[in-house]
Amino acid sequence: MKLLLLAATALTALSVSAFAADLPKRSAPAAAPAPVFSWAGAYVGAHGGFASFKPRHVDVLDASYNANPTVDGGVFGVMGGYNLQSGNIVYGGEGDFGFGTHSKQTDGAINDYTKFTMPMNGHLRARLGYALGQTLFFVAGGVSFAQFKNDDIDANYGSFSQARMGWTIGAGVEHAVTKNWIVRAEYLYDRFGSKTSNISYSAVVTVEERPYDVSLKPDMHTVRAALIYKF
């Protein structure tokens, strides 16, 4: 009898083991895929850098008074825009507005009295880029605007200020440090057409001392960095 019980017990154990072996094995849960960074959405930021322009100052009546110094200065301001994304392609629009510290007085035997400044500038641009994860390479182009001032600092002479509109192109790179914070470095080239304004003269007009017309045709190179917050 005991022998029969032992045999039955052994048979039952072998059957359970065989049944368990036939059951499908449970695999470990798959790891969640890493989140893919999206460049789409609105953003705002602040920018700062260095800009250099040449005014191409032309005295309409007397070319000997022409001047074209290099006027350097800092630029800083704010920016905002919106991106759309399709695969690796990122596109959108952006606007910025800023101020310049530019001020340059000409020097020379003839024209040593003309002072150039650029108090403010800005851009409205379309952007197109290619994203590699959290890094974006882009080109941009559109409309630029700026205020240029020309001051004749000789006694009795006046000055003028021109609000100008032109075109701009540029390129740059951005990197997303976190989900929301982005850093950028870029180059911009701005070109403005020719515009003529008058320098007044408040004393007795002579052959040498007189009001005169001046034409400005500036172009500007800018290198700047930006810190951006993406919503």
pLDDT by residue for the chain (231 residues), tens only, comes to: 444 444 445 445 445 454 445 555 566 566 556 568 999 999 999 999 999 998 888 877 777 677 788 899 999 999 999 999 999 999 999 999 999 999 888 765 555 578 889 999 999 999 999 999 999 999 999 999 999 998 887 778 888 889 999 999 999 999 999 999 999 999 999 999 888 888 888 887 776 777 888 888 899 999 999 999 999
Query: Does residue 79 form part of some domain?
Result: yes
Range(s) of the domain holding residue 212: 41-230
The answer to whether 38 touches 86, Cβ cutoff 8 Å, is: no
Residue for token pair 């100052």: 57
DSSP 1-27: -HHHHHHHHHHHHHHHHHHHHHSPPPP
Query: Does residue 175 form part of some domain?
Result: yes
The answer to whether 95 touches 81, Cβ cutoff 8 Å, is: yes
Query: Does residue 31 form part of some domain?
Result: no
Distance CA 176, CA 34 (A): 16
Termini Cα distance of the chain: 81
Number of folded domains that form the chain: 1
What pLDDT was estimated at residue 17?
A: 52
The residues, ordered by sequence, that sit 6+ positions from 175 with a Cβ below 8 Å of its Cβ are 134, 135, 136, 182, 183, 184
Query: Does residue 183 form part of some domain?
Result: yes
For 65-75, b/e burial (b = at least 16 CB within 10 A) is bbbebebebeb
Query: Does residue 28 form part of some domain?
Result: no
Query: Does residue 34 form part of some domain?
Result: no
Tokens coding 170: 């540029």
Whether pTM > 0.85 for this model: the answer is no
Residue for token pair 């849960």: 29
